[in-house]
Structure 1
Amino acid sequence: MGSTGENVRTVLVTGAGGKTGGIVLEKLRKMPEGFVARGLVRTEESKAKVGGENVFVGDVTKAESLKEAFEGVDALVITTSAVPKMKPGFDPSKGGRPEFYYEEGGYPEQVDWMGQKNQIEAAKAAGCKHIVVVGSMGGQNPNHMLNMLGNGKILIWKRKAEEYLSQAGVPYTIIRAGGLQDKEGGIRELLVGKDDELMSTDTKSITRSDVAELCVQALLNEESQNKAFDIASKPEGQGTPSSDFKALFAGVTATF
């Protein structure tokens, strides 16, 4: 059900079996005074891997499978994403580029567009009061390399879902992350941008841990609501590690 205490919110993290979603769920679980953390994963295998309580199995492309997980949620963090797979047989020693494909039912149009739309509608039906989405920089460029993978047009579909969210009538935060790194978080200066302006700089990557922290901080700071921004970081050791998230969100002016 919903919140167990006056100031305790039930937060559902979808894509909790993935790297970024798993970190968000872990962070929320360490804050029981503020959150009841729930996770949504695709398979029983992922559920066993994630472990802990309040982990639900559902397929975002099938709306009816989401009802139980979404019941009574106060906030939603969407980290689901289609994942391209490399076609077997690629030999880097022979040059050329590897080819990619998406598994049946796992195309960006299905996961990143219809799947996000299903989540937004399920959240609205549950009375959700804040939706945070982890997206990706590069959405301004239809010819971006990521769109070419498996001819999936992944950034185009993500962008379409973000636009849908911005018009859905629920407070939202859209976090368009740069290239994701599996490194320690909390030790770099974060850089906020818009309209892919950070793509032309040397600083267009960010750690998954920092993205996960932004998701949590977005839930804690009302200044994050109804805003969309690109996010990257300076290299470790350059600048001052970011810690004032209220100011960071307050400085964002873009709503989409």
Structure 2
Amino acid sequence: MAQQMTVTVTGASGRTGTLIVQKLLAQPESFTVRGLVRSEEGVKKLEAEGVPSSQLFAGDILEGTGALKKSLQGADAMIIATSAIPEIRPLSLVRVFWKKLLRLEGARPDFKFKKDQYPEQVDWLGQKAQIDAAKEAGVKRVVLISSMGGSDENNPLNRLGGGKVLVWKRVAEEYLIDSKSFTYTILHPGGLIDDEGGKRELVLGLDDQLLKLEKRSIPRADVAELAVQALSTPQAEYRSVDAISKEPGDGQPTIDFASLYGGLKGNCKYGPGSVKAAVSGK
């Protein structure tokens, strides 16, 4: 019997993080689950999911609380599910309404990020803090959930709220790889949808080639499954891959994750200095 693995999930009360926690809890013989959240509300949410209060830690990783370090003490693995989340500027919806009414082009809302929740702070500095703390704690396995589109610095997502979200995610990915301290898996899911998981054939790819397809979304539940499966799948070790799903009924639902990870050769490329150059020119 395989030894039980203690897994710390960061961003554990988010939509994807909660699904990861649920999947780990469903395998008590394989995993002990810990959750790191930002607030007591997150603690209550995960307690309702069945996570013991002793395994829950609340605190902002950028405020220097001890929550992050405590959550990683004795952990074997960490799944990073933290991410900056843009919000729509309400007044911009008025402009969108009138442009649509007048059938004008460019009818899109504006976005913003909360104070201290910009991508540079959450997706770079926050993830760097997590990686550093995991290294200090002796964690051996890290799964990082990022986003597809990072190979193109001109991707429209980088303009949301002026946050360069994909750029900062990419910097964190490179930091994880360059640390040479972990067995890692980096996942770049396509557009996240809230459909039921386990009903679709999953497709992996490299370097944003899947963005050329008409359909390039994936249920959050399937991203959670990819992350959990990566913890015990040798073919997922030292991998950086993109992930989408086919439409229901197109192909067979994926159940063999060793073949899924092993069937794709190579890893997403990280251009020499390209992302770091973009950061320096922020």
After superposition, the CA RMSD in angstroms is 1.4
Whether the 8 Å contact between 1:84 and 1:150 is mirrored in structure 2 is: yes
Query: Residue 37 of structure 1: which of 6, 18, 33 is its match?
Result: 33
Contact conserved, 1:76 with 1:123, CA < 8 A, in 2? yes
CA distance in 2, matches of 1:122, 1:33: 26
What's 2:118 paired with? 107
Separation in structure 2 between the aligned mates of residue 105 and residue 79 of structure 1, nearest angstrom: 18
Q: CA deviation at 1:239?
A: 1.0
Corresponding residue of 1:78: 80
The yes-or-no answer on 1:62 pairing with 2:63 is: yes
1:22-62 CA distance string (max 9 Å, x none): 00001101111011001111111121122131111122323
Per-residue CA deviations over 1:195-250 (Å, capped at 9, x if unaligned) read: 00000101210000000000110012121110010000111111111111011111
For residues 89-168 of structure 1, the aligned pairs below 5 Å read 89=91, 90-91=93-94, 92-95=96-99, 96-168=107-179
Q: Find the partner of 2:236 among 216, 224, 227.
A: 224
TM-score normalised by L of structure 2: 0.86
Tell me which residue corresponds to 2:226.
Answer: 214
* SS of residue matched to 1:147: helix
Q: Structure 1 length normalisation: TM-score? A: 0.95
Query: Which secondary structure does the structure 1 equivalent of 2:231 belong to?
Result: helix
Q: Distance in 2 between matches of 1:88 and 1:127?
A: 45
Q: Secondary structure at the match of 1:167?
A: helix
Say which SS state the counterpart of residue 136 (structure 1) adopts: coil
Q: 1:197 to 1:144 in 2, by over 3 A?
A: same
Runs of 4+ in 1 over 3 A off after TM superposition: 62-65
Amino acid paired to 1:165: L
- How far did residue 6 of structure 1 move? 7.2
Alignment length (residue pairs): 252
**What does residue 48 of structure 1 align with?**
44
Q: Which 5+ residue runs of structure 2 have no aligned equivalent?
A: 100-106, 269-282
Structure 1 runs not aligned, ≥5 long: none
Q: Secondary structure at the match of 1:206?
A: strand
Looking at structure 2, the residues matched to 147 and 199 of structure 1 have their Cα atoms a distance apart, in angstroms, of 16
